Amino acid sequence: MKSKKITRRGVIKSGVATTVAVAAPTIWVPTIAASQSVNVWTYANFIPKDFKKEFEKETGIKIRERLVDDQGKEFNLLAAEKNNPTADICTVAGHRFSQFIDSELIAPLDTSRLKNWSTVNKIYSESDWSVVNGKKWGVPILSGAEVMGYNSDIVSKEEARSWDVMFGEKYKGQTALILQDMMSIVMLYLGYDGNMVAYLNDPAKAKSIVNEARDFLIKHKDKVRKYYDSGAEIQQMLINQDVVVCHAWSGSISKLIMDGFPAEMTIPKEGSYGFIYCYNIANNGPNTDNAYKFLDALLARPEIGANMTKASGYISTFKGSSKYLTDLERRTSSFTEEELAGLQFFRAEANKMKYSLVDPAVEVIKAA
């Protein structure tokens, strides 16, 4: 596979272009009672095993993970516990902040409690999307993109240049996609703004576009083997050759490439969307002090960010993390100039309107 080059376009980066971090302290914090814990709701492989072991040993704080695989599901779980939350930290994508903030499910981030805050590259930590109502709301940890993933032994690079391959006859029944996310990409594919910001003042137009995307996906439903939710699920489907081409989160495909599977990923010529995952403080969580200790320890060394990339496949936001990656690991977390030209980032301004239309459309597609 040809080596891919990353640039400073947008905020998707390989870490090669980031500033090398100054020497950082170890993840020491004062040892406290072993019975204490921090409850982290996050995606699979977002907490490196070595970090977890070291943190628990040095602090006496037990990390209790609850795995999530979908932002909507996480929102519903947090909302159900709003008056008595069990989460201390949750994992929210930057473009979904407003929904969680408006429902009072996450708390503003107090960066003064994070002595290692400067570990996060300013491209991420000081971006406009990270500030809502004049406050910061999360620690950016990993970045990624919605990509086309494919088995490179079966699907050609030329075929993968366009989302057309997902909707054609050749690989009928051998494709898979994340339905809610694919709605945005289909809108972009059809020539519209998948963020729907352009239609904030024209709800009738917005509804018409969502309906067009819905009908398009219903028309091509016979091409899809499965609508799926988790990265592990699509990885297994590709390994088993249940599917050969798919819409996926970049981290899922990067991890396959790192593990030696004949996979490739691309941003097709019609474009796609990028996103930033953050660790957020849950509002009124039971162990907020421990949550800040967890976050500060995570930021202590750039190699922790590199280990997060190795485990998840996503791109670390930490300065200097790339020097702890192999050439293959750096290559699988970067894109060409041509691919980046088609990459936009999910935005939050129209989310309330967008998802009020998209969510019902998704249910109609599933039922069709």
Does any domain span residue 29? no
What CATH number is given to the structural domain containing 264?
Answer: 3.40.190.10
Looking at the 3D structure of the chain, how many domains does it have?
2
Assess whether 187 and 112 both reside in one domain: no
Domain identity same for 320 and 347: no
Residues 269 and 324 in one domain: no
Indicate if 128 and 52 belong to the same structural domain: yes
**pTM, rounded to two decimals:** 0.72
**Which residues in 188-214 are b (16+ Cβ under 10 Å) and which e?**
bbeebbbbbeebeeeeeebeebbeebb
Query: Are 129 and 264 within one domain?
Result: no
Q: What is the DSSP string of 67-104?
A: E---HHHHHHHHHHTTTS---SEEEEEGGGHHHHHHTT
Specify if 102 maps to a domain.
Answer: yes
Same domain assignment for residues 170 and 213: yes
Whether residue 138 is found in the same domain as residue 150: no
Could you list the pLDDT tens digit for every one of the 368 residues in the chain? 333 333 323 333 333 333 333 333 344 343 434 349 999 999 988 999 999 999 999 999 999 999 998 888 899 999 999 888 999 999 998 888 888 998 999 999 999 999 999 999 888 888 777 788 889 999 999 988 999 999 999 999 999 999 999 999 999 999 999 999 999 999 999 999 999 999 999 999 999 999 999 999 999 999 999 999 888 899 999 999 999 999 999 989 998 998 889 999 999 999 999 889 999 999 999 999 999 999 999 999 999 999 999 888 888 999 989 899 988 888 787 787 788 788 888 887 888 899 999 999 999 999 99
Helix (H) or strand (E) holding 151: strand 139-151
Q: Is residue 58 part of a domain?
A: yes
* 43 and 127 inside one domain: yes
Residues 235 and 350 placed together within one structural domain of the fold: yes
116 and 131 inside one domain: yes
Task: With CA atoms as reference, report the closest residue to 246 among 259, 257, 231, 261.
Answer: 231
The H or E element containing residue 276 is: strand 272-281
Q: Which domain holds residue 280?
A: 37-143+275-331
Same domain, 155 and 232: yes
Is 54 in contact with 149 (CB distance < 8 Å)? Answer: no
CA atoms within 13 A on the CB side of 97: 28
Residue 152: inside a domain:
yes
Classified as helix, coil or strand, 105 is: coil
Contact predicate 139/238, CB 8 Å? no
Whether 19 maps to a domain, the answer reads no
Helix (H/G/I), strand (E/B), else coil: 63:
strand
Q: Is residue 25 a part of any domain in this protein?
A: no
Identity of the amino acid at 213? A
Q: How many Å apart are CA 303 and CA 318, to the nearest integer?
A: 9
Q: In terms of domains, do 153 and 138 share one?
A: no
Please check whether residue 74 lies inside any domain of the structure. yes
| Measured distance CA(7)–CA(292) in Å, rounded | 32
Specify if 266 maps to a domain: yes
